[in-house]
Structure 1
Amino acid sequence: MKDSKSAQAPIEDLSELKSYFASHNVTREYIAHSSKVHSVGWSCDGRKLASGSFDKTVAIFNLDRYRLDQSFIFRGHTGSVDQLCWHASHPDLLSTASGDKSVRIWDTRSLKCVAVIPTKGENINIAWSPNGSTIAVGNKEDLVSFIDTRTYKVVTEEQFNFEVNEISWNNESDLFFLTNGLGCIHIMAYPGLELQTVVKAHPGTCICIEHDRGGRYFATGSADALVSLWDARELACLRVFSRLEWPVRTLSFSFDGRLLASASEDHVIDIGDTETGEKVCDIPVSAATFTVAWHPTRYLLAYACEDKEPPERKRDVGNLKLWGLPADRG
């Protein structure tokens, strides 16, 4: 679903892309939480941005062209909100994974929690299948639970004997991907969970994985500071981005699949061109970045860093940032 009022035409030419971001490189910062922001994500129509925090809350912002306005704070989790994801086609439904051994589903229209699903451990990652039927959640003990979204009940669990990092579905929702501590991507059929293949992606721990909206690519980020871009159908590595120096913690594709944002403890977020691997631009930051998210129809990037309050810099700041704003509106 696209918000036609604000949808942006893709820019095909690399030099034009670079020129665009030379004049659309302003960052605006927003106070969202009282502690560190772990996860940010856009609703499928791009009208709302959600952030989850160590302070146990979920903040909802409305996007008004070039500005975010905080509209609501969801409370209910009794532990840190470690990751969130929106429904792929329902713009009001949001799911969150928490260390309090639960998954919650929130409705931003009714401003209510519509379901609390108990799970067996402290949850650290979550993924909602693109067809909307299933939510997968992984915990610190490498157990992945699959929740049927019609009943909001756990229908199956899979215990892995290796470190499970991030989880994701392909766009058809019939393959389930997970990254592990051995540098591999495990790909399983869904819903049967039969192992299809194991791809050795990195020499170091494979930390994060992201599929692009068009279904052409997926990308992985690793402890070796590399980002690998893969052909989603051929399972072939197309190119490697190597501009970061620290373990890659988070990835996001732009709406057209052309740009890949990657971030780490480096004091820069890298924006690379998926077609050539070239750097399009970068975003200077002052602290480690653990979550980035491109808007679903525009060249706008939301992100959050491990910023500290000055002058002692001991207390976490729960702020999020929006980048890609035109210089004349900064």
Structure 2
Amino acid sequence: MSTSRVDELINYFKSHNKIREQQSHSAKVHSVGWSCDGKLLASGSFDKSVCIFSLCPDRLKQETTFRGHGGSVDQLCWHAFYPELLSTASGDKTVRIWDTRTQKCTANISTRGENINISWSPDGNTIAVGNKEDLVTFIDARVMKIRAEEQFNFEVNEISWNKDSDTFYLTNGQGCVHILSYPDLELLHVIKAHPGTCICIEFDPTGRYFATGSADALVSLWDADELCCLRTFSRLEWPVRTISFSYDGQLLAAASEDLVIDIGEVETGEKIADIPVEAATFTVAWHPKQYLLAYACDDKDTYDRKRDAGSLKVFGFAND
């Protein structure tokens, strides 16, 4: 990518670096995500609730709060092409599906452990959910029934699918990415991606690349076909907890316990912008159609430092 494009992006964020904050939870926000059409943003929290916001031109507006989980909502993800469907993974040993049109829970699937991560396949047919005991459960999203379970004998961190939904990826505590075929769940490849724990994984919207974040403070970018590492992003100093590609695949946001969220240009690795934060950041998500980044930090209440702020923020609104 030309230097002019990098300069364009840097200049864009100089005039689009306004942050909007929403305080809607009573405890830490674990996960944020945009609906596929970008009209809604969801947040899941330790307070057992899910909040839904609509996007206005210059801010967010809270629409509704979903309650029903009996434990922390650790991760959420939306359906790839039905913008009203949201899935949530909770420590209460269930996966729930919510419909924003009816504002109700439409399915409640019991699983065998406390769930910590979830990934909905791009074809919409399968929801994979991982628990604290490294068991991954595959739910057929068409009938909301468990189709398969796979127990791993190592620490499973984050899970993801390729663009065609026929291979399943997971990151582990030994710094590896395991790639399995789906639905047969046969091990195809093990990539030794990092010397430290491999924490998070994300595919870019084109399906050409995936990125991994690790305890070694690096983000590595991989060619999804060749399974070779193309480059690393090394501006953070703490374990990388969360990463997200922009809608066009040109930007990669990464966050950690550093007091900054790093935004790099994918083709060159160059820094485009950073977002100053006051606490560790555990979730980031780019909007599916524009350069807006939702994120949530381990912020404390302004007046009572022992209490979580329960807030989420969106960066990238036009400056006044």
Alignment TM class, shorter chain as reference: over 0.9
Confirm whether residue 91 of structure 1 aligns to residue 83 of structure 2: yes
Correspondent of 1:100 among 88, 92, 96: 92
User: Please, what is the CA RMSD of the aligned residues?
Assistant: 1.0
| Alpha-carbon contact 2:302-2:309 (below 8 Å) kept | no
**Counterparts of 1:116-127 in structure 2 under 5 Å?**
116-127=108-119
**Counterparts of 1:15-34 in structure 2 under 5 Å?**
15-34=7-26
**Counterparts of 1:134-213 in structure 2 under 5 Å?**
134-213=126-205
Correspondent of 1:240 among 232, 236, 249: 232
> How many residues end up aligned between the 2 structures?
318
Letter in 2 for 1:316: D
Question: Which residue pairs with 1:291 in the alignment?
Answer: 283
Task: Report the Cα offset of residue 158 of structure 1.
Answer: 0.1
* Cα distance in 2 between the residues matched to 1:285 and 1:218: 26
Q: Which ranges in structure 2 are unaligned for 5 or more consecutive residues?
A: none
* Cα distance in 2 between the residues matched to 1:116 and 1:187: 28
Task: Report the Cα offset of residue 75 of structure 1.
Answer: 0.3
SS in 1 for 2:282: strand
Task: Report the Cα offset of residue 195 of structure 1.
Answer: 0.4
Task: Report the Cα offset of residue 312 of structure 1.
Answer: 4.4
* Cα distance in 2 between the residues matched to 1:33 and 1:310: 14
Question: Which residue pairs with 1:6 in the alignment?
Answer: none
Correspondent of 2:270 among 253, 278, 293: 278
* Cα distance in 2 between the residues matched to 1:148 and 1:18: 43
Correspondent of 1:42 among 34, 39, 45: 34
Task: Report the Cα offset of residue 310 of structure 1.
Answer: 2.7
* Cα distance in 2 between the residues matched to 1:227 and 1:67: 30
Please give the per-residue CA displacement for 1:89-148, whole angstroms capped at 9, x wherever unaligned: 000000000000000000001111000000000000000000000000000000000000
Letter in 2 for 1:209: I
Task: Report the Cα offset of residue 31 of structure 1.
Answer: 1.1
* Cα distance in 1 between the residues matched to 2:155 and 2:179: 15
* Cα distance in 2 between the residues matched to 1:81 and 1:20: 34
Correspondent of 2:218 among 221, 226, 230: 226
SS in 2 for 1:14: helix
Letter in 2 for 1:87: H
Letter in 2 for 1:173: S
| Alpha-carbon contact 2:123-2:165 (below 8 Å) kept | yes
Task: State, as a whole percentage, how many aligned pairs show the same letter.
Answer: 72
Indicate the larger mover: 11-20 or 280-289.
11-20
Question: Which residue pairs with 2:105 in the alignment?
Answer: 113
| Alpha-carbon contact 2:116-2:130 (below 8 Å) kept | yes
Letter in 2 for 1:55: D
* Cα distance in 2 between the residues matched to 1:312 and 1:253: 35
Correspondent of 1:316 among 305, 308, 320: 308
SS in 2 for 1:316: coil
Please give the per-residue CA displacement for 1:3-61, whole angstroms capped at 9, x wherever unaligned: xxxxxxxx981100000001101111111211100000000000000000000000000
* Cα distance in 2 between the residues matched to 1:315 and 1:56: 16
| Alpha-carbon contact 2:178-2:189 (below 8 Å) kept | yes
SS in 2 for 1:188: strand
SS in 2 for 1:22: helix
Question: Which residue pairs with 2:6 in the alignment?
Answer: 14
SS in 2 for 1:327: coil
| Alpha-carbon contact 2:20-2:60 (below 8 Å) kept | no
Q: Which ranges in structure 1 are unaligned for 5 or more consecutive residues?
A: 1-10
* Cα distance in 2 between the residues matched to 1:32 and 1:13: 37
| Alpha-carbon contact 2:139-2:148 (below 8 Å) kept | yes
* Cα distance in 2 between the residues matched to 1:273 and 1:236: 19
* Cα distance in 2 between the residues matched to 1:64 and 1:55: 26
- The runs of at least 4 aligned residues of structure 1 exceeding 4 Å deviation read none
